[in-house]
Every structure is written in structure tokens, then in C-alpha cells.
């Protein structure tokens, strides 16, 4: 498909020519008819645009190729489509987004119709005029054609939405992952419109633009994942004030928020805001892996000339990868990120404040949480005023943290909270310091995919090689920046082994999830919940060959942090699998595990498990798994593993993240 018009015979001189013209394809338009077409359009517009005479020739030349300009294609969200005669089709499925009847698949017809619509008189409802409906298109065509601006229409609806032109910067906000909702496994991104600092308005009242799927209430998670992967949902942009997101993500789902303020000029900010208005509530097709929230937000920013924050991956768009590419990028020689701001979740604030207490103060907090009526006595026993303030501030965070309306404990919780709040107000004013340890920002983290190559020794099969590929995303040992600590989110992981000239599949994880709340405080309600779900295939044991069986495994448990470097947990669950050599279909499994970490560089996990078959001939057997990781560089690590499961195996592997 040629990217420029192909020369064709001149049309019949008697043929009528209009400004909109007949819808046409990319390869049958001729240069002369386009120039004539545009000239006639501009002659009609000349009374409104006095600067036309000086720029007429340059404008006509620009107009003959404008519909192929990258910015125009981005503004209309055109994507390559071999089934369309033009080679393009817009990702937006909303007739109101197009001014030409064939605009969804014809960039040229849409461009011509847009110019025509901009030249029309506004009528009784200026907000219905094309200039007010598509302000970003208006900005771009005016700049491209080098014409003086016509008198700006009073677009009341758009002016109200953009805070009367009071938005002076943009921030990309990243919410860390949340395993309680499949839509949030990989984190979430949204765009925040920052009001001018002298507006006197709280940042929580700033507007934000959010992209997501339109999902029915109480949708089954498995159904959601299936439809999300294969495009079964409508997607779109919605607006809401920023405090809503801080409430949902930071206070309810306990997810840290990272705000990346972009280093953009005011004109660039206005251009993105104007396009945000154009795409608001338009219908897309939502895809969980590729064309998701991160993709659409990055696409929105990419209308700025010279900016590209979309990751190169064609398989999946991971929000953290967008953040990383943005952090590495520049625009006109300047860093793309102006400032990074960290907004800790309610859980992070509680844990940080609790860690900062002395041992007697922690004991007082625990006693007050277990016996709220003892609060006055506990405060009297505190060493000084500052200690009483720290105890009360920690209790205020605690009661907010355990507040769960759906469990029917709101009334009692609120009474305790109000009692603590009253005691805090009775003390002299003064804020307690919360030495919040800044977590490593997501853009400093490693890349999302992993390939590992290792050498192994098996007690039954001898020496061999191991190759593992994990497209996404993290495990217990490498859950770092922006990931959920001590948890697992792995999809599509494949492990193969090679023994004595024979290569075979050892394990395939379609999905492998572990979610853990590590119960730092030990207070009532800080429960340390743990759950696991894995679906895939694995070798029936370490000692067998070509013995892959399909497996589904689930478990529930508890975990408790013993120290900052050690976490202990216990779980119980069951397994379903294919029958192999009378091994049985169903078994139960209990496990204890210890997660260890020493800073960012060293981490490890030890797990002891007991498995009991409920059918088949295999006896119960125990297994031991030990894995240690040493980070060599941001995207490089070394792992040493030992496993005993009917046979013993040791492996040393080098991993590269990409």
C-alpha cells in the first residue's frame, strides 16, 4: 500500500468538485484534484481567516499531505487494517467521533470534512460546533496550515471541563498491582490534570482521565479474564476527580501511588487536554494484555510531536514498562519527567508509623487495640507527651486500616476511632514525625520479562541444562519496585530441561498467583492472609521422564512477619491433576514457608510441603524447595536452587530481564 497518492488520469472537467468530495482510498487520490479541492475550501473560509492570503500557497501544499501526517493519524486513532480500502481503521467505534460518513476508515475524507466543519457558522449552540467538539484537531490544523487563528468560539462545556484553562501540567499516576482484581494484576495508570498552583484548589480536586473496561457488576473473574483477553468488553475514557482514585487505590485496595509530573510546555499540555476532551466517553475495544489502560494513556500522550512512551512489545503493555520508557525519554533535549511524588497507601502509612515506635509504645498500641477501654491508663503510663502523640496517631491509622464496612464492624470501629480522636485533640497541638522510608520508584525497577539458563544435577537423571522463559512478571524472589512484596504474578512461564541429548518440557504455568499480606503489626484485623492459585502443567516428579501432567492447585493460609528480614507462613490446599501411572487425580497439600531478604540484593525462600493423595497408588511424600537469589545488576541475577521431590536436584542459573 503506497503511503503517498498515486498519479491517476485527470477527471472530466465537467465533473463537480466539492469540499468534502466523494470518500476515496489512499491510492486513488490525485495531487491536482486535492489541491483544487483544498483551494476551494479555503476560499470559502477566507472571510473568517484574514491571514489566508499570505499563507495560502504553503497551506495548500501542507493540506495535500496533511491526512497522512502522523499526528493526524494519532488524533483519529487510526490503526493499520488490511481489510480497509485505505489501509486504516480507527480504534474508536463511535459515529459521533467522525465528521465524514467514512471517517472511521478514510483519513483523507475525515480531514476534508473537518476543515469544512471548522468553516461553518456556530449557530445557536456553539458547543455543538466542530471547533468545540474537537479542539485538539482545531489546534493542530491551524498550526499545520500556518494560518492566523479565527475568532475563538465560546465553548462553554469544554472551558468548564478544563477548569477555565487553569490546567498547567500533567501527571501520569501509577498505582501498584493488586491481586484482588484481575484487571489490576499489573498495576494501573491514569492521567492527572494539575491545576495551576495559584488556583487555591486542593490537588485532590484536580480532574483525572482514566481508561478501563465497561464490566457488568459482579462479573465472574474467570469470565472477565477470558473476555478481557479476547476483546469482549467495551473500553473507554472516563473522568473523575483525583480524590476518588486516592480513596479507591490508596485507602481501600492499599496500593501505593506514584505520580510522575511531565516536563511539558503549556502548549503541549493544552493539546493533550483538548484531545482528552475529544476521546472522553468514546467507545473502544478493551484488551487486557496489549490495548489496555497503559496503552491508551501512552497513546494519548503520544500526540505530542517527538514523544513516544509506548513500549516496543507487541504482546503486552505493562504499566510499569510505560513508566520506565517515560523515565528514560527526553523531549527536545530535556528529561520527560519533571518530578516524582510518592503517595503511600493506608497500609504503608500504618506499617511505617508502627515500625517507628519504641518497644513500650508498640506494646501500648497492641494493648489499646485489644482492650480499647484501657486507653486512658495506657496513655498515663506513656513516658512523655511525644510518646502519647505517637501512640494515638498510630491508633488512628490502625482504625482506618481495619475499617471494613461490609463486615458489619463499622459502628464499634468508629466508636474506638472517635475515642482515640478525642484523646488526640485533648493533647497540645503538634504533629508527630513519620519517618517514611521512600520505597524504590517503579521506574528504577527491572524489565518485566525473564529468561534463565542454568546447569543442574539430578540424582536420578544426572547432569543437564535448564532453560526458562517467563514473559511476565515477578515471583517471591524478585518482587521489587512497584510489585507486591512476597507475592507471585506469573503468566505463560515455560521451563524445559535437557538430559542426555533429550529435551523435554518440565513445567508450564498458564497462571501462577500468590497473594500475601504479611501482618507487620500483629494487631487484630491485620490478619496476614495468604492465598495461592496455579493452573498449568508440570512433571509428576523430578525423577521421571516425559511425565507431564495438567495441574490445578489452590491454597489458603496465614503469614506473619517476624522481622524486617524474615516472614513465616503456613498454608493448606488441594491439587487436581491428570492421572499418571496410577498417581491419582486428587490430593491435599500442606506447606510451611519462610521468605528471607537482605536489602535489594539478596532474597530467598525455603518451603517444606507434605502431599497426600486421596486416590491412586502413590503414597504420601514430603518435598523440600530452597531457592536463593543474588541481584547482579538491575536486569541480571544469579539463582541457586535445591529441590527434593522423590528425587533430588540442584541448579545454578543466570537470569536476564528484558
The confidence score (pLDDT) of residue 617 equals 66
Would strands 233-241 and 257-262 be described as parallel, antiparallel, or unpaired? unpaired
- When divided into structural domains, the chain yields a total of 4
Residue that is last in its domain, among 104, 136, 153? 153
CB 627 within 8 A of CB 639: yes
- Over residues 19-72, the pLDDT tens digits come to 333 333 333 333 334 443 443 444 444 444 444 444 445 555 556 678 999 999
The C-alpha angle with vertex 274 and arms to 282 and 18, in degrees rounded to 5, equals 75
SS (H, E, C) 248-310: HHHHHCCCCEEEEEECCCHHHHHHHHHHHHHHECCCEEECCCCCCHHHHHHHHHCCCCCCCCC
Residues 195, 116, single domain; the answer is no
Return the beta strands (E) in 95-184 as ranges.
Answer: 167-175
Q: Which residues of the chain have pLDDT under 70?
A: 1-64, 147-151, 198-200, 404-410, 435-438, 617-619
Asked if residue 87 belongs to a domain, the reply is: yes
Concatenate the DSSP letters of all residues of 404-457 into one string. -GGGT-HHHHHHHHHHHHHHHHHSPS-PPP---PPPPPGGGS--S-EEEEEEEE
Residues 114, 250, single domain; the answer is no
The C-alpha angle with vertex 159 and arms to 154 and 164, in degrees rounded to 5, equals 120
Q: How far is CA 17 from CA 9, 10, 59, 602, in A?
A: 16, 13, 19, 73
Asked if residue 70 belongs to a domain, the reply is: yes
Asked if residue 439 belongs to a domain, the reply is: no
Residues 168, 145, single domain; the answer is no
Concatenate the DSSP letters of all residues of 196-212 into one string. PGGG---GGGSEEEEEE
Domain extent for 124? 31-153
Nearest 5°: phi and psi at 36? -65, -45
Residue that is last in its domain, among 370, 393, 426? 426
CB 597 within 8 A of CB 565: yes
The confidence score (pLDDT) of residue 404 equals 67
Asked if residue 472 belongs to a domain, the reply is: yes
User: Which grid cell sits at 546?
Assistant: 516425559
d(CA 637, CA 447): 12
Residues 61, 173, single domain; the answer is no
The confidence score (pLDDT) of residue 382 equals 94
The confidence score (pLDDT) of residue 148 equals 64
Residue 652, classed as helix, strand or coil, is strand
Residues 399, 486, single domain; the answer is no
The confidence score (pLDDT) of residue 50 equals 44
d(CA 471, CA 480): 16
Nearest 5°: phi and psi at 193? -95, 110
Long-range contacts of 332-337 (CB under 8 A, 24+ apart): 332/306, 334/263, 335/263, 336/262, 336/263, 336/307, 336/309, 337/260, 337/261, 337/262, 337/263, 337/443
Asked if residue 1 belongs to a domain, the reply is: no
Residues 226, 362, single domain; the answer is no
Residues 280, 300, single domain; the answer is yes
Residues 362, 337, single domain; the answer is no
Residues 376, 402, single domain; the answer is yes
Asked if residue 437 belongs to a domain, the reply is: no
CB 474 within 8 A of CB 490: yes
The confidence score (pLDDT) of residue 151 equals 65
CB 264 within 8 A of CB 331: yes
Concatenate the DSSP letters of all residues of 384-407 into one string. SHHHHHHHHHHHHHHHHHT--GGG
Of 487, 470, 491, 466, the residue nearest 478 (C-alpha) = 487
Residues 484, 415, single domain; the answer is no
H or E segment and range at residue 32: helix 31-45
Residues 131, 168, single domain; the answer is no
Q: What is the pTM of this model?
A: 0.85
Of 622, 625, 617, the residue nearest 641 (C-alpha) = 625
CB 461 within 8 A of CB 501: no
What is the CA 51 to chain-centroid distance, rounded?
46
The confidence score (pLDDT) of residue 60 equals 52
Residue that is last in its domain, among 99, 131, 153? 153
The confidence score (pLDDT) of residue 582 equals 75
Residues 582, 602, single domain; the answer is yes
Cβ within 8 Å of residue 129, ≥6 positions away = 117, 120, 122, 123, 153, 155
Of 292, 271, 116, 279, the residue nearest 212 (C-alpha) = 292
Amino acid at each position: 500500500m503506497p503511503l503517498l497518492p498515486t498519479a491517476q488520469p485527470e477527471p472530466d472537467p465537467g465533473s463537480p468538485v466539492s469540499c468534502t468530495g466523494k470518500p476515496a482510498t489512499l491510492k486513488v487520490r490525485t495531487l491536482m484534484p486535492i489541491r483544487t479541492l483544498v483551494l476551494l475550501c479555503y476560499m470559502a473560509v477566507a472571510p473568517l481567516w484574514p491571514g489566508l492570503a499570505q499563507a495560502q500557497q504553503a497551506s495548500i501544499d501542507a493540506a495535500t499531505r496533511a491526512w497522512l501526517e502522523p499526528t493526524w493519524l494519532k488524533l483519529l486513532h487510526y490503526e493499520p487494517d488490511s481489510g480497509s480500502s485505505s489501509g486504516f481503521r480507527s480504534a474508536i467505534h463511535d459515529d459521533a467521533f467522525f465528521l465524514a460518513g467514512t471517517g472511521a476508515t478514510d483519513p483523507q475524507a475525515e480531514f476534508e470534512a473537518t476543515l469544512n466543519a471548522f468553516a461553518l457558522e456556530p449557530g445557536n449552540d456553539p458547543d455543538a460546533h466542530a471547533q468545540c467538539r474537537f479542539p485538539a484537531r482545531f489546534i493542530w490544523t491551524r498550526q499545520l496550515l500556518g494560518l492566523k487563528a479565527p475568532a475563538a468560539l465560546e465553548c462553554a462545556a469544554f472551558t468548564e471541563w478544563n477548569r477555565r484553562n487553569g490546567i498547567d501540567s500533567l501527571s501520569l499516576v501509577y498505582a501498584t498491582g493488586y491481586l484482588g482484581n484481575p484487571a489490576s494484576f499489573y498495576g494501573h495508570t491514569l492521567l492527572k490534570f494539575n491545576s495551576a498552583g495559584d488556583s487555591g484548589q486542593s490537588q485532590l480536586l484536580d480532574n483525572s482521565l482514566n481508561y478501563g473496561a465497561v464490566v457488568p457488576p459482579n462479573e465472574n473473574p474467570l469470565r472477565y479474564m477470558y473476555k478481557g483477553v479476547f476483546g469482549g468488553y467495551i473500553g473507554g475514557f472516563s473522568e473523575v476527580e483525583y480524590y476518588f482514585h486516592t480513596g479507591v487505590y490508596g485507602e481501600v485496595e492499599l496500593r501505593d501511588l506514584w505520580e510522575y509530573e511531565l516536563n511539558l510546555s503549556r502548549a503541549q499540555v493544552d493539546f493533550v487536554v483538548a484531545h482528552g476532551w475529544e476521546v472522553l466517553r468514546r467507545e473502544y475495544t478493551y484488551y487486557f494484555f496489549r490495548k489496555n489502560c497503559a496503552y491508551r494513556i501512552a497513546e494519548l500522550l503520544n500526540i505530542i510531536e517527538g514523544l513516544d512512551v509506548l513500549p516496543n512489545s507487541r504482546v503486552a503493555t505493562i504499566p510499569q514498562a510505560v513508566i520506565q520508557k517515560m523515565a528514560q525519554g527526553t523531549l527536545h533535549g530535556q528529561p520527560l519527567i519533571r518530578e516524582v511524588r510518592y503517595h503511600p497507601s493506608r497500609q504503608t502509612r500504618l506499617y511505617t508509623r508502627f515500625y517507628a515506635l519504641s518497644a513500650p509504645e508498640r506494646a501500648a498500641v497492641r494493648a489499646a487495640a485489644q482492650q480499647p477501654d484501657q486507653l486512658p491508663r495506657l496513655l498515663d503510663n506513656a513516658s512523655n507527651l511525644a510518646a502519647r502523640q505517637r501512640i494515638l496517631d498510630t491508633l488512628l491509622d490502625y482504625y482506618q486500616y481495619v475499617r471494613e464496612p461490609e463486615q458489619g464492624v463499622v459502628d464499634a470501629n468508629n466508636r474506638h476511632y472517635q475515642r482515640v480522636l478525642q484523646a488526640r485533640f485533648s493533647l497540645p497541638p503538634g504533629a508527630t514525625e513519620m519517618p517514611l522510608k521512600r520505597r524504590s520508584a517503579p521506574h528504577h525497577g527491572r524489565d518485566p520479562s525473564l529468561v534463565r539458563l542454568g546447569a543442574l544435577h539430578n540424582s536420578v537423571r544426572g547432569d543437564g541444562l535448564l532453560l526458562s522463559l517467563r514473559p511476565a512478571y515477578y515471583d517471591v524472589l524478585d518482587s521489587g519496585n512497584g510489585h507486591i512484596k512476597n507475592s507471585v504474578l506469573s503468566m505463560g512461564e515455560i521451563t524445559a530441561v535437557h538430559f542426555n541429548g533429550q529435551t523435554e518440557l518440565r513445567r508450564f504455568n498458564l497462571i501462577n498467583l500468590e497473594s500475601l499480606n504479611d501482618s507487620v503489626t500483629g494487631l487484630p484485623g491485620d490478619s496476614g492472609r495468604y492465598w495461592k492459585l496455579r493452573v498449568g502443567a508440570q512433571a509428576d516428579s523430578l525423577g521421571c521422564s516425559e511425565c507431564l501432567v495438567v495441574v490445578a492447585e489452590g491454597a489458603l493460609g496465614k503469614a506473619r512477619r517476624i522481622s524486617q528480614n524474615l516472614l513465616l507462613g503456613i498454608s493448606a490446599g488441594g491439587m487436581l491433576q491428570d492421572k499418571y501411572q496410577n498417581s491419582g487425580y486428587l490430593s491435599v497439600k500442606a506447606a510451611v514457608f519462610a521468605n528471607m531478604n537482605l536489602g535489594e540484593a539478596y532474597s530467598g525462600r525455603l518451603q517444606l510441603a507434605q502431599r497426600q493423595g486421596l486416590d491412586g497408588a502413590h503414597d504420601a511424600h514430603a518435598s523440600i524447595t530452597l531457592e536463593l537469589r543474588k541481584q547482579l545488576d538491575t536486569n541480571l541475577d544469579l539463582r541457586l536452587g535445591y529441590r527434593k521431590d522423590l528425587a533430588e536436584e540442584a541448579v545454578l542459573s543466570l537470569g536476564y530481564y528484558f
